[in-house]
Structure 1
């Protein structure tokens, strides 16, 4: 039964990602927003919904290692695994002129949460600071995300249908991710795997599967701005929204390994993506292969 749920989850992720990308692209055209902004906001937040649900549930259940490990592991997987797979499928363009503010937000969020983890806890006050960062990010994204009217094409999909496809795709993605995470976690616990490892790997990758499905399908459909914006937006939401909201609900104790071992990887991947965006203007296929190799190195070197 567990394996059947795993397969059903995979199918749900595929179809959910397909409809989400098509719907989000149409929404962007209707509101004359760039696909990058839709990827950073609607798609980024929507595909981060599983992380939010899992982290809040874990924190309330007295499993803080899963809550924090889920966010940090997801941010690492988003760049190394998801962008790696997407770049192998199709080279990704990263328009720095459109994305520089958002890359800055990602770097700022990463540095902020690293500082917060140093004392072994994310407090309610720190959660409020992270939530304020989320509001600032959303405000900036929508204020600067309009495209010129002559650049906008409205397309043939009615607005109601575009929103229905977007929201329906998000719902299916969340359901699929939930099925996958539950079944994989059950198997891991049967083999005696620790909560920190489960949070950093199975739960983190499992809750990142909506991002993987969405970015991979966006790459196949040549919607590279959505593929990249989805990952950058998700990384920002993971820190500002998920850790912020979770800490507001209940302070989160932090295992020392997160600040000492995992945060350097989170920071390195964020800085590395920014450098690649500035120097190369995107991710060629060879960069995708290197990102996937780096993710394998992370799994091995951190002792997971």
Structure 2
């Protein structure tokens, strides 16, 4: 049984990585063929498309009766995005914080993290709270459209012919959904077999697995010296993970927040605060900062391993 769960997890991780890439590429191709502006593509399909695995995985976990995995996935992904993914990008090339609209993006990512902490104190994310989170996401998108802060032209995604783009979109969607279901089933099975809390599985294996599209996009952008894309992807994903993913998931299932997750939400808050502080103090994430982030992530993983 454990071997089957391992196969499901491995298949889920690969399917999410491949499916997420195809989903974004296909969606961008279809949008461009129908005359959707580059700004809209950058704000929605590219920026949030890399968070599709988190969305499908959290929704699948909640519907499967594993809300701890759904919440752990979001919290763990936001931590990994900063301490692991942005850190790796900075080690490749320092990430400059000169992107247009940085104060606004930083305020939204910090406010989103703080909002989740408030909901955690309340003990659950209800249907009404889900509507509120999605409404805030709408406000964020409206403001982003008005400010034109996302440099969509920096994202190098091929424009395919419409039939090919549509095929990529459908295949990517199928792989993302199938991979998310397999990953949740396998991870839940492993957790129960070894007595590992579902929240820990969500914070580690599931969170890192669903962050693979962000890893690929951010590292690629760093190698090309596109700091705006690398940093914007991390900030945008952090906002969408909380407002979009938890908001959408709460519409279909109540999300009780276990007390065991409160320290991890505190880690997410602290990590976000440190990132914002660095962005405004040093105006860059240096290689040294990247190395420190990686060390902090290792410490966090070691601490998690002692919690079960």
Counterparts of 1:70 and 1:147, CA distance in 2 = 26
Q: How does 1:20-59 map to 2 (within 5 A)?
A: 31=37, 33=39, 38=42, 41-59=44-62
Contact 1:18 1:169 (C-alpha < 8 Å) held by counterparts: no
Tell me whether 1:220 sits opposite 2:223 in the alignment.
yes
Task: Give the number of aligned pairs.
Answer: 297
Contact 1:177 1:209 (C-alpha < 8 Å) held by counterparts: no
**1:53 aligned counterpart, secondary structure:** helix
**1:277 aligned counterpart, secondary structure:** helix
Shift of 1:170: 5.9
| Counterpart in the other structure of 2:143 | 140
For residues 156-180 of structure 1, the C-alpha deviation after alignment (integer angstroms, 9 at most, x for no partner) is: 9679699779958965677667666
Tell me whether 1:91 sits opposite 2:88 in the alignment.
no
Tell me whether 1:263 sits opposite 2:284 in the alignment.
no
TM score, norm. by length of structure 1: 0.80
TM score, norm. by length of structure 2: 0.79
Counterparts of 1:189 and 1:132, CA distance in 2 = 36
| Counterpart in the other structure of 1:130 | 133
| Counterpart in the other structure of 1:193 | 196
Shift of 1:155: 11
Pick closer, same or farther for the CA change 1:12–1:244 going to 2, 3 Å: closer
Shift of 1:12: 6.2
1:238 paired residue among 215, 236, 241: 241
Counterparts of 1:233 and 1:22, CA distance in 2 = 18
Counterparts of 2:143 and 2:171, CA distance in 1 = 26
Shift of 1:75: 0.8
Q: How does 1:150-229 map to 2 (within 5 A)?
A: 167=169, 171=173, 186-229=189-232
**1:298 aligned counterpart, secondary structure:** helix
Counterparts of 1:161 and 1:227, CA distance in 2 = 30
For residues 39-87 of structure 1, the C-alpha deviation after alignment (integer angstroms, 9 at most, x for no partner) is: x542231111111112122222221211111111111111111101111
Pick closer, same or farther for the CA change 1:101–1:147 going to 2, 3 Å: closer
Contact 2:20 2:50 (C-alpha < 8 Å) held by counterparts: no
| Counterpart in the other structure of 2:282 | 280
| Counterpart in the other structure of 2:111 | 108
Shift of 1:257: 2.1
**1:95 aligned counterpart, secondary structure:** coil
Shift of 1:258: 2.1
Shift of 1:208: 1.2
Counterparts of 1:225 and 1:90, CA distance in 2 = 13
Counterparts of 2:119 and 2:84, CA distance in 1 = 26
Pick closer, same or farther for the CA change 1:44–1:147 going to 2, 3 Å: closer
1:249 paired residue among 232, 243, 252: 252
Shift of 1:192: 3.2
Gap runs ≥5 in structure 2: none
Shift of 1:278: 0.8
**1:118 aligned counterpart, secondary structure:** helix
Counterparts of 2:277 and 2:63, CA distance in 1 = 38
| Worse-matched range after superposition: 187-196 or 276-285 | 187-196
Counterparts of 2:198 and 2:37, CA distance in 1 = 43
